[in-house]
């Protein structure tokens, strides 16, 4: 089974940036576009293709985003979240 890529996404579901999702949105991870160590870390923390993800909180004035991934709440900066591509869960 090969990891899901942008090409495999369900038909008609646009790829979105995690940073743009509103609080309460549930989605699935497509890929982490960031190709450096930080991107690797996000993948290790559970952001593997297909993993369910939910936006819990958004900090004020462009502050960090808190998401639920694999049963824990992770806070990351808005620009870091912007490198995570997701599709909305159906």
Partner 1 sequence: MAASQTNTCLHVALCGNPNTGKTTLFNQLTGRRAHVGNYPGVTVEQREGDHRTAEGGHWRVHDLPGAYSLTAHSPEEEITHQALTGQFGSVPQVVVVVLDASNLARNLLLLLQVAELGLPIVAALNMMDAAKQAGLAIDIAGLTADLGCPCVPLVARTGKGLAELEAAVELVAKRPELAAIAETAWSEPVLQAIASARACDERLATLPSGGVLWWLCAEPSLVDRLQPGLGQALRQAVPRELLPETDLRRRVVHERYQRIDAVTAQRVQRQGAPQRSQSDRIDDVLLHPLAGGLLFLLAMGSLFQAVFAWAQPLADGVAALMNVLASAVRDHLPANLLRAVLIDGVLVGVGGTLVFLPQILILFTGIALLEDSGYLARAAFLADRLMARVGLPGKAFVPLLSSHACAVPGILATRTMNDPRDRLLTILIAPLMSCSARLPVYTMVTAAVFAGSTPLFGILSLGGLIVAAMYFLGFLLALLAAAIFRRTLVPGAGAPLLLEMPPYRLPRLPNIARVLWDRGRDFVVTTGTTIVLLSVVLWGLMTFPQHGLDPAERTRLNAEVTAQHLQGEALAQAKAAIEARDAQIHLQQSAAGRLGHFIEPLIKPLGFDWRIGIGLVGSFAAREVLVPVMAQVYGKGSQADVDDRFAADVGRSMAGAGGLTPLSGLSLMVFFAIAMQCLNTLATIAREAGSWRWALFALTYLNTAAWLASLGVYQLGKFMGYS
Given the rule CB under 8 A, which residues bind partner 1? 1, 3, 32, 35, 37-46, 48-49, 51, 57-64, 66, 70-77, 80
Residue placing its CB nearer to partner 1 in the complex, 16 or 68: 68
Residue placing its CB nearer to partner 1 in the complex, 7 or 72: 72
Residue placing its CB nearer to partner 1 in the complex, 12 or 67: 67
Q: What share of the chain is helix, strand, coil (3-state, %, to 5)?
A: 25, 35, 40
| CA dihedral angle for residue 33, residue 25, residue 15, residue 51, rounded to 10 degrees | 60
């Amino acid at each position: 089974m090969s990891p899901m890529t942008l090409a495999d996404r369900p038909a008609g579901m646009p790829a979105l940036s995690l940073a743009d999702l509103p609080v309460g949105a549930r989605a699935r991870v497509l890929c982490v576009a960031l190709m450096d160590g930080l991107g690797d870390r996000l993948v290790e923390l559970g952001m593997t293709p297909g993993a369910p993800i939910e936006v819990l909180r958004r900090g004020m004035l462009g502050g960090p985003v808190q998401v639920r991934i694999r049963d824990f709440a992770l806070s990351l900066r808005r620009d870091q979240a912007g490198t995570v591509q997701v599709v909305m869960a159906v």
